[in-house]
Amino acid sequence: MSKLGKIVAGLGISVLVILIAGALFLHHLITKSFPVTHGSIPLPGLHTSVDVYRDDYGIPHIHASDEHDLMMAVGFAQAQDRLWQMDVLRRAGEGRLSEIFGKSTIQFDMLFRTINLRKVADSIRTHLSPESEQILENYAQGVNAFIDQNRGKFPVEFDILNYTPEHWTVEHSILTSRLIAWELNLAWWTDLTYGEIAAKVSPQKLKEILPAYPDSIPPTVQMLTTGKHAAQLHSLLDAGRAYRSFFGLGGLEAGSNAWVVDSSRSISGKPILANDPHLAMPAPSRWYEAHLSAPGWNVAGVMVPGVPLIVLGHNDSAAWGMTNAMIDDADFFIEQTDSSRPGMVRFGKEWRPIESHTEKIYIGSADSTTIEVRSTSHGPIINSVHPSFQHGDSTGSSSSPIAMRWTGLEVSDEISAFTRMNKAGSLSEFEQGVKELTVPAQAVVYADVDGNIAYWTAGRVPIRQSGNPMLPLPGWTGDAEWKGFIPFDQLPQVKNPPEGFIACANQRIADKSYPYYLSTLWEPPSRITRIRELLHAADHFSSVDFEQFQQDISSPFARDAVRYLLAAYNDSSASKTPEISDALTYLHNWDYRFTKTDIATTIFNVFFVKLLHNIFEDEMGPDVFNDFVFFGAIPYRVTGQLLAADSSAWFDKAGTTQIETKNQILRKSLEDAISELRTSSGEEMKTWQWGNLHTVTFTHPFGLQKPFDRVFNIGPFPIAGGGTTVMKTEYKMSLPFATSVGPSMRQIVDLASPKSASIVITSGESGQAYSKHYDDQTSLWLNGGYVHVTSNWDDVLRSSWEHLELTSQ
């Protein structure tokens, strides 16, 4: 071999060695944190040994001799699988993300320091029941044991960001649960958005787009005889939107489905319950599956990482699910100030001081910024979320303080609530747990082995005396103050209704005879209409039927909207190009099912987005329009209202000399849709399949940047459904058509076999990329499959699953 050849060969071998070494190092970096799931591990503090069996999907089945050991083991197991997710959630709630992410998250830290969730968590801890505090302390002990034992072997996210996790505390679990409540808080967004709209349009036009609900749709419970602050408001919306985008939380949607049939409607002779909460679907999954067993405990379902109790699931006696009650649980109060009284706000005839303190936000390891956090008797002043609005009141500027009152800032003990629900052996015992749920307000659906089915509205619902709760209110008059909360026994609820079923899809909870204001934030009636159609389609149902129901992709909303569009072309003045005629043919022959391969589905959804722009954007402007459509339920409902009306000033476009009609706007929207699809999807209409536009990606915070998306994100995948189908796969109207919200988990429980359930989450049990359990449930979720989970210990002990013994020494 020549000298040059030897040099080339030597370089080639060197490069190969370097590549192999790099690959081995990368493999080690990623896999070093994978959990030990067999053998034994000492867990100091245990009273005695705990068994942890992990099934084929990595779901832990934990058996302990007492509650203390059970909670320690839950903390250890969650930390094995989800430590970085848990850490980043608590940092978000504390307003400490910038310590690890730098300046990119300073806006979020300002938001949560202003809301001051950490102070709320501290206050809640001092009011916890002794049992709740013990549960959280034991859980934290288990998390911290894992942290101490695995230094140098943490998930790769810690290495990339170059930091190590701190010890877990009781307050961190409280923060995590309260952060979830904030993410499900809808009222703050709609109040601020409608405040912006009110500054731009006439009172009459505003009234037309206040959401109503059709009387033809039955409520969940039939009530028987028994302007100028717009820029300030927008800053909070910007912070909220950016936070949701960073964590893959999509648009502001919090819909869900839950229904239950009683024994008379069930093939098995016992109630059957189904639930699929519609939330953002990041990676890792929002849910952690587990089966917990100890004396007094045998419960399975899903938990929030960072909290040790089952949120949705079943025990030996009962099963339960939840949907967001869509309660209006927040108000904004514009405070009145006076330049001669700096640092004071008026309330009636009094002047009250603004409470103030400073917060230092660290940015990385070498930088920091300080903000002033202020509050009034109504709550935190949200102007401070944006630096340009700080100190507005004390300098005499026109920037009035705006304070937020939200039920999530009140003290409560959800740990006690879920403990009672997890351990309940009867309807009355379960109800005592539901009674303690306060935030976020939930619609709770229940079934048990005794044949009972039930529904409760659970949560703190403000009693308001005056004012439009969808708009910012005057804080100085005293007229808009909350007068306490609706007592639990006066909230809408029903047990064993004669209809034989209960169905919830975020529809109006109570009819007009109900004496209190609850909300106007309901989802469009499309899903509940379809669910009721399905539940009236037969006399008896099975679990398999409910699996099919959860996959249903028919849209009553599309059926109604297309009727108006087709009628618009019956007008003698309507002209049709060949492309429009072809599109109308597709729509005329459509069955209103949003399948992945359907053409009409694509045409309709692009048309609907164009319709929103053509109706609202000219009046609102692009910024307020994007705020308006960020919570999709409102534009769906409001547009349906306008289409049902004979005429509306909203159809007349600003800036034109002629007065546009509803039919003209409908036709223009279809023409705009066809034009866009020809540009984006090609000239051939037959290629415009819905799944080509409508995809789902489970996004990790690191996956927002290339090339990390290839490592941490799961997807994209084509997907059926839409925002108005039972299988809800909502997209953001401002950035169509990727799915932003969907069934974050699905569960079905037949109480004829209370120790088994069908359940699936979006990705997998592990939060660690390249783990076999990072995305092993995704294909099931995409194709309507389920993991069949047992809580029968005879089944567990007969299995060949991995077995880890946690020992006391």
In a domain, 650, yes or no: yes
Reported confidence tier of residue 466, pLDDT bands at 50, 70, 90: confident
**pLDDT for res 391:** 40
**pLDDT for res 386:** 47
C-alpha distances out from residue 85 to 241, 625, 801, Å:
20, 33, 26
Q: Is the pLDDT of residue 388 over 80?
A: no
In a domain, 669, yes or no: yes
- Region 338-350: mean pLDDT is 93
Q: Is the pLDDT of residue 573 over 80?
A: no
Per the model's pLDDT, the better-predicted residue between 713 and 385 turns out to be 713
**pLDDT for res 28:** 56
Reported confidence tier of residue 722, pLDDT bands at 50, 70, 90: very high
Domain containing residue 640: 556-592+599-688
State the total domains in the chain. 1
In a domain, 422, yes or no: no
593: buried, middle or exposed (CB in 10 Å: 19+, 13-18, 0-12)? middle
Reported confidence tier of residue 252, pLDDT bands at 50, 70, 90: low
Fill in the amino acid letter for 147: I
In a domain, 647, yes or no: yes
Return the CA Rg of the chain.
27
**pLDDT for res 239:** 65
For the ranges 22-36, 416-430, 636-650, the one whose mean pLDDT is highest = 416-430
What is d(CA 237, CA 572) in angstroms, rounded to the nearest whole number?
44
Mean pLDDT is lowest, of 21-35, 87-101, 466-480, for 21-35
In a domain, 48, yes or no: no
Condensed to tens digits (0 to 9), the pLDDT of residues 625-671 reads: 988 898 888 999 999 999 999 889 999 998 888 999 999 999 999 99
Mean pLDDT is lowest, of 84-93, 283-292, 726-735, 785-794, for 726-735
**pLDDT for res 255:** 78
**pLDDT for res 6:** 61
Q: Is the pLDDT of residue 389 over 50?
A: no
In a domain, 340, yes or no: no
Per the model's pLDDT, the better-predicted residue between 516 and 231 turns out to be 516
In sequence order, what are the beta bridge partners of 133?
none
In a domain, 614, yes or no: yes
Structure tokens at 232: 């300030």
Counting every residue, how long is the chain?
Answer: 809
**pLDDT for res 383:** 80
Mean pLDDT is lowest, of 298-312, 328-342, 362-376, 378-392, for 378-392
This model's pTM is above 0.95: no
User: How high is the mean pLDDT of the chain?
Assistant: 90
Q: Is the pLDDT of residue 796 over 70?
A: yes
- Residue that has been written with the tokens 């529809």 in this structure: 507
Angle at alpha carbon of residue 196, lines to 195 and 198, rounded to 5°: 65
**Beta pairing class for 367-376 and 379-380:** antiparallel
What is d(CA 155, CA 182) in angstroms, rounded to the nearest whole number?
27
Reported confidence tier of residue 502, pLDDT bands at 50, 70, 90: very high
Q: Tell me which residue of 140, 92, 86, 105 sits closest to 285, measured CA to CA.
A: 86
Is residue 245 helix, strand or coil? helix
Residue 133 contacts residue 156 (beta carbons within 8 Å) = no
Condensed to tens digits (0 to 9), the pLDDT of residues 552-568 reads: 999 999 999 999 999 99
**pLDDT for res 392:** 40
Q: Is the pLDDT of residue 16 over 90?
A: no
Report the CATH number that the domain containing residue 671 is assigned in CATH.
Answer: 1.10.1400
Backbone angles phi, psi at 324, to 5 degrees: -65, 130
Residue 461 contacts residue 353 (beta carbons within 8 Å) = no
All residues at 6 or more sequence positions from 45 whose CB lies less than 8 Å from its CB, including other chains: 72, 141, 145, 808
Q: Is the pLDDT of residue 24 over 60?
A: no
DSSP string, 400-444: --EEEEEGGGS---HHHHHHHHHH--SHHHHHHHHTT--SS-EEE
Q: For the chain, what is the total number of helices (H) and then of strands (E)? A: 26, 31
Condensed to tens digits (0 to 9), the pLDDT of residues 214-247 reads: 555 565 554 332 244 455 555 555 666 666 666 6
Residue 773 contacts residue 766 (beta carbons within 8 Å) = yes
Residue-wise burial string across 444-474, b where 16 or more C-beta atoms lie within 10 A, e elsewhere: bbbbbbeebbbbbbbbbbbebeebbbbbbbe
CA 754 to the chain's CA centroid: 28
Q: Is the pLDDT of residue 213 over 70?
A: no
What is d(CA 393, CA 390) in angstroms, rounded to the nearest whole number?
8
**pLDDT for res 365:** 85
In sequence order, what are the beta bridge partners of 357?
373
Per the model's pLDDT, the better-predicted residue between 610 and 183 turns out to be 610
Per the model's pLDDT, the better-predicted residue between 384 and 533 turns out to be 533
Q: Is the pLDDT of residue 22 over 80?
A: no
In a domain, 536, yes or no: no
- Residue that has been written with the tokens 């507005």 in this structure: 392
Q: How many CA atoms lie within 13 A of 739 on its CB side?
A: 36
Q: Name the packing angle between helices 662-681 and 556-568 (round to 10°).
A: 110
**pLDDT for res 218:** 60
**pLDDT for res 469:** 85
